[in-house]
């Protein structure tokens, strides 16, 4: 089996949706500009040697439709020879693509693949424009197949006894860690600056265009407090504990990695960043989908011949504070190694991008700390969990 190495890894900043800094930037443009930036670091590399562009996206319709993966390949590489494909495992899509690319290279089916994800929740809302459940399935007792994510977060909080106080404290800490990381410049080198053009009618009734550059995550809030979070009303159940403040933010963003075979890495004399040791997904009850990593992480570890004791850092997607706390407690994970620079509650959760985004963040922090093994994991809608184990080199 061949070895596949990640040699480049970048992400955009994450903007709030639907009225944040990227509300005027299409998701295919976000992705294409990220790929362009990444490939500009290899000016002598023949882009026609790239075997595929695999793009994760959770709501592939409208501006994210028409096989957006192929469009991103055309726009980002500016050559027609490289194909592109769109992959959807909801919130794990961006990690799934890295797993697919790695497996293809390991099997000898490819030598070089760009993998990652992009999502604009400003352009395409959660659930898309026309979600259409099968009412016969729901009537047969499976309405939880179609539950909104907030209801599943409430179910996790109830079943695993996660208090409102603990959820709010977790959310507060997410913001504080993210703000500290931003102040220390920990994200600066991994973020691709994106220029956004906004066209509008000015006060004189004339069309005007202004531009600005986005290079910092928009979500972290310096003014938040536990008291302020405690004052928010539940949004999914009248007597619930899940609020907008202890849930992940709707977001826009893109993130990609460049993966090559060992032979190509040596030929080009490149320094590998990391390798994906293993990737695994598992199914759980849809009504408690947030608990998915509790099955996915042990599965991935077992397949890799590792244990949690080997893992030094974890990026666990904070879909909701209730599920992140439940996962950490059920697996008895040391909270000191989880989301050390904040998570989705503060930094945002651009669905199909998130798995790749968290991978980029993990590589940087593990390199800084001199860590060897780390995990990226997340829950997935309709009752799934995914986990990727990385070795940082």
Render 130-148 in DSSP notation, one character per residue. -----HHHIIIIIGGGG--
353 an active-site residue? no
Catalytic site residue from 112, 175, 349, 353: 349
The two structure tokens encoding residue 315: 């990026």
Helix axes 293-304, 321-330, angle to 10 degrees: 40
**Pairwise CA distance, residues 12 & 30, whole Å:** 8
The two structure tokens encoding residue 228: 């302020």
379 an active-site residue? yes
**Pairwise CA distance, residues 1 & 11, whole Å:** 29
3-state secondary structure of 113: strand
Q: What is the DSSP secondary structure assignment for residue 233, as one 8-state letter?
A: P
142 an active-site residue? no
Residue 20 contacts residue 214 (beta carbons within 8 Å): no
For the chain, the C-alpha Rg in angstroms (whole number) is 20
> Which contiguous run of DSSP H or E holds residue 116?
strand 112-120
Residue 373 contacts residue 312 (beta carbons within 8 Å): yes
Catalytic site residue from 91, 112, 175, 353: 91
Catalytic site residue from 112, 175, 353, 379: 379
Smallest CA-to-CA distance from 210 within 222, 198, 228, 219 is with 198
Q: Which residues pair with 291 in a beta bridge?
A: none
The two structure tokens encoding residue 121: 């929740």
**Pairwise CA distance, residues 159 & 143, whole Å:** 18
For 69, phi then psi, to 5°, come to -60, -40
Instruction: Give the largest Cα separation in the chain, rounded.
Output: 67
Residue 129 contacts residue 62 (beta carbons within 8 Å): yes
> Which contiguous run of DSSP H or E holds residue 354?
helix 354-369
Query: How far, in Å, are 69, 145, 194 from residue 77 at the CA level?
Result: 12, 39, 17
**Pairwise CA distance, residues 300 & 282, whole Å:** 9
Residues marked active site are found at 91, 349, 379
């Amino acid at each position: 089996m061949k070895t596949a190495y990640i040699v480049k890894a970048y992400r955009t900043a994450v903007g709030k949706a639907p009225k944040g800094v990227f509300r005027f930037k299409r998701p295919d443009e976000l992705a294409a500009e990220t790929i362009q930036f990444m490939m500009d670091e290899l000016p002598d590399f023949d882009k026609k040697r790239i075997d595929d562009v695999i793009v994760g996206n959770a709501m592939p319709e409208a501006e994210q439709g028409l096989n957006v993966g192929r469009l991103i390949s055309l726009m980002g590489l500016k050559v027609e020879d490289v194909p592109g494909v769109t992959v959807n495992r909801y919130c794990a899509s961006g990690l799934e693509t890295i797993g697919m690319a790695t497996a293809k290279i390991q099997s000898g089916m490819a030598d070089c693949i760009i993998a990652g994800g992009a999502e604009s929740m400003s352009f395409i809302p959660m659930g898309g424009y026309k979600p259409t459940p099968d009412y016969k399935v729901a009537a047969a007792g499976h309405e939880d197949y179609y539950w909104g994510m907030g209801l599943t977060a409430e179910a996790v909080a109830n079943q695993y006894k996660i208090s409102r106080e603990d959820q709010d404290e977790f959310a507060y800490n997410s913001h504080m860690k993210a703000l500290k990381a931003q102040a220390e410049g920990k994200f600066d080198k991994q973020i691709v600056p994106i220029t956004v053009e906004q066209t509008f009618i000015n006060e004189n009734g004339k069309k005007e265009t202004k531009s600005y550059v986005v290079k910092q995550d928009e979500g972290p809030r310096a003014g938040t407090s536990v008291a302020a979070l405690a004052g928010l009303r539940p949004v999914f159940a009248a007597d619930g504990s899940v609020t907008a403040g202890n849930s992940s933010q709707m977001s826009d963003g893109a993130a990609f990695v460049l993966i090559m075979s060992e032979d190509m890495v040596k030929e080009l004399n490149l320094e590998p960043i990391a390798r994906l040791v293993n990737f695994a997904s598992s199914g759980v009850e849809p009504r408690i989908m947030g608990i998915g990593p509790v099955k996915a992480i042990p599965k991935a570890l077992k397949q890799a011949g590792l244990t949690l004791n080997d893992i030094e850092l974890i990026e666990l997607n904070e879909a909701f504070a209730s599920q992140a706390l439940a996962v950490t407690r059920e697996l008895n994970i040391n909270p000191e190694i989880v989301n050390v620079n904040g998570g989705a509650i503060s930094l945002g959760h651009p669905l199909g991008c998130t798995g790749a985004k968290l991978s980029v963040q993990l590589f940087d922090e593990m390199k800084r700390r001199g860590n060897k093994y780390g995990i990226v994991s997340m829950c997935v809608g309709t009752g799934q969990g995914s986990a990727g184990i990385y070795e940082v080199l």
